[in-house]
Structure 1
């Protein structure tokens, strides 16, 4: 039995017990349906072997080898993952295009008695819907951007908002990158472009289009991933809440929020190296001396005053949209909670007017 979808919301609404991706591990790693588990019917090496025989020898030999490998791999999954599944178990199974790999597993599971269904068109159908949402269609959600210079704790403020009328999407969290030269998180790699877009489409599909969505003001590129065109166009036109905070508060916050970088002198030096060509030798020398001395709050203040604040001012000058200012006095944990409440109130006011 095939399961067809016409929107991304159809999958969640169907209430499957599992979404099973039977593609190879490398295909799964690049991107997959949100919440899917990977139970490959062919490993990467096996898939390559079958493909080579198909091209160099014969279609029949490739199919015989593939069938044997698939049967053994599915048997292994039955002995392991499926061992305790009840008779009412209902999984959705997909491969690249809803072909032999997904149908092979589904046939065996249905013979056991489980209500397995195959996603019609496979991953390609899902990916087409993601592309339509993020590349082709007008963005359906009402955005408000949280803006402000580096060190204003925008991400922490977003995560502290608890207003039921204000929805929040953490773009940097989804991109696994902090959106500046400070870069990614230690020992955490960024998702692929397709995986980032899957995460975006999944989280926005679950939101209420009638309520505002607060996101952090970003450039069109967060680390190595791009903000998709439909979302980026909506962000450029969205009203903004602009935070301003004293430099000393921002510097103290940065040394706390970026403690992983502060604890790694080599990484800190590499960050300064990346700014060569943008500043004079004297400015770079001063930053390195501050880093070497351990005066990290002074370094953070210097980086903001010499580099980030001017860069963000130039960037904001290009935006002609409604902007509401919010002065922030404190960026300690209690202050962040207080600011989050004010940001939520302003978000509601902006979208009502």
Structure 2
């Protein structure tokens, strides 16, 4: 029979499936990548029992819990847990602290002839472990920051080498005002948890880790201060791509591929995308200035019309080129002049990729 565990390192390194029995409101606040939520108590039941616990103590709370656990409720809970256990017999269950709810779930399962171990300390202990590991790995891993102007293909480059961290992939956002993807962004807690697990896995072998140069925020996800500090002090590799090539890459990624995000919308995908582009442009209106914004907004309207009527995305290239030249490149150049980072190598996208493979011993995927 398997026993309860407090070996958090093993849990996360081995991608162990986790049965999260906390209430949905707790799970939505923050969880772990391979956790599935099949709660012992729903949000209202949790609130009622918590109130009883504070007013009358643990035993009164337990008694209320059993009162709320009708045969129908218990049958539904057990059915969901059994399906999870059948699918993931090597997993573990957990509640918030590895206390009352975990023990109650184990008791119910044992009555059905199932012994399923729990995580000692529960969510709180695992979360504390990941936060501590995040601090440790940010200070100990040898990062190489891949930098370059917007549209240089930095993320695509990182995804081709083995020892890398895709911050935008974890955040499910491309980083700019136009960076929304077809996936909802994770909560800040979920972002930190996944990042910590990725760094923990990378720490199992020595060697540099490539990471993309990012600002403090990737959409709504904030980089942990320790990681920001590590990236600020890390050496850099510069990807230098011509303006035209960068504009074409952005049009392909944001326009041609971006249409797929709206395939299920009520409106035509091109119309929905066009409306989103106008909305995103408006977010940087003040920074562009009134006249420049008006010119770009009119050009964007024309490009949207061309896409809707003729399925032609080439009309966006002048708009993107102007945005890069007059806004994004200037901001990037200003930050680079203020910094004093060590530059290990600079070259085209292909040259940087080869350099990373040869000089940093980063295996190609």
* TM-score of the superposed pair, with normalisation by structure 2: 0.81
State the alpha-carbon separation in 2 of the partners of residues 257 and 141 from structure 1: 31
Which residue of structure 1 lines up, in the alignment, with residue 194 of structure 2? Answer: 199
Paired residues of 1:133 and 1:139 also in contact (CA < 8 A): no
Q: How many residues align?
A: 333
2:237 to 212, 234, 241: 241
Which residue of structure 1 lines up, in the alignment, with residue 266 of structure 2? Answer: none
Which residue of structure 1 lines up, in the alignment, with residue 27 of structure 2? Answer: 28
CA shift digits 1:49-102 (9 cap, x unpaired): 33345567887664323124457545324334415956x945422111111111
State the alpha-carbon separation in 1 of the partners of residues 26 and 36 from structure 2: 12
Q: Per residue, is there more helix in 1 or in 2?
A: 2
2:275 is equivalent to residue 266 of structure 1: yes
CA shift digits 1:240-292 (9 cap, x unpaired): 11011111111111001112279422211122212222233221122112212
Paired residues of 2:133 and 2:200 also in contact (CA < 8 A): no
2:185 is equivalent to residue 190 of structure 1: yes
Going from structure 1 to structure 2, the CA distance change for 1:316 and 1:347 (only over 3 Å counts) comes to farther
State the alpha-carbon separation in 2 of the partners of residues 118 and 84 from structure 1: 14
Paired residues of 1:95 and 1:123 also in contact (CA < 8 A): yes
State the alpha-carbon separation in 2 of the partners of residues 155 and 137 from structure 1: 21
Higher mean alpha-carbon deviation, 175-184 vs 314-323, is at 314-323
SS in 2 for 1:242: strand
Paired residues of 1:139 and 1:234 also in contact (CA < 8 A): yes
SS in 2 for 1:20: strand
Paired residues of 2:13 and 2:201 also in contact (CA < 8 A): no
Paired residues of 1:96 and 1:122 also in contact (CA < 8 A): yes
State the alpha-carbon separation in 1 of the partners of residues 229 and 361 from structure 2: 21
State the alpha-carbon separation in 1 of the partners of residues 130 and 63 from structure 2: 35
Q: Which runs of 5+ in 1 are unaligned?
A: 329-335
Paired residues of 1:33 and 1:126 also in contact (CA < 8 A): no
In the TM superposition, residue 225 of structure 1 has moved relative to its aligned partner by 1.5
2:293 to 260, 266, 284: 284
Which residue of structure 1 lines up, in the alignment, with residue 5 of structure 2? Answer: 3
In the TM superposition, residue 3 of structure 1 has moved relative to its aligned partner by 2.0
In the TM superposition, residue 127 of structure 1 has moved relative to its aligned partner by 1.2
State the alpha-carbon separation in 2 of the partners of residues 182 and 253 from structure 1: 14
SS in 2 for 1:145: strand
In the TM superposition, residue 181 of structure 1 has moved relative to its aligned partner by 1.4
Which residue of structure 2 lines up, in the alignment, with residue 82 of structure 1? Answer: 82
2:109 is equivalent to residue 109 of structure 1: yes
In the TM superposition, residue 148 of structure 1 has moved relative to its aligned partner by 0.4
In the TM superposition, residue 198 of structure 1 has moved relative to its aligned partner by 0.5
Going from structure 1 to structure 2, the CA distance change for 1:138 and 1:301 (only over 3 Å counts) comes to closer
In the TM superposition, residue 113 of structure 1 has moved relative to its aligned partner by 4.2
Going from structure 1 to structure 2, the CA distance change for 1:20 and 1:35 (only over 3 Å counts) comes to same
Which residue of structure 2 lines up, in the alignment, with residue 313 of structure 1? Answer: 333
Which residue of structure 2 lines up, in the alignment, with residue 344 of structure 1? Answer: 357
Higher mean alpha-carbon deviation, 62-71 vs 236-245, is at 62-71
Going from structure 1 to structure 2, the CA distance change for 1:61 and 1:348 (only over 3 Å counts) comes to closer
1:300 to 316, 320, 324: 320
Higher mean alpha-carbon deviation, 270-279 vs 199-208, is at 270-279
Q: Which runs of 5+ in 2 are unaligned?
A: 260-268, 304-314
State the alpha-carbon separation in 1 of the partners of residues 223 and 75 from structure 2: 41
Paired residues of 1:22 and 1:38 also in contact (CA < 8 A): yes
Paired residues of 2:13 and 2:197 also in contact (CA < 8 A): no
2:164 is equivalent to residue 168 of structure 1: yes
Going from structure 1 to structure 2, the CA distance change for 1:71 and 1:22 (only over 3 Å counts) comes to farther
Paired residues of 1:41 and 1:70 also in contact (CA < 8 A): no
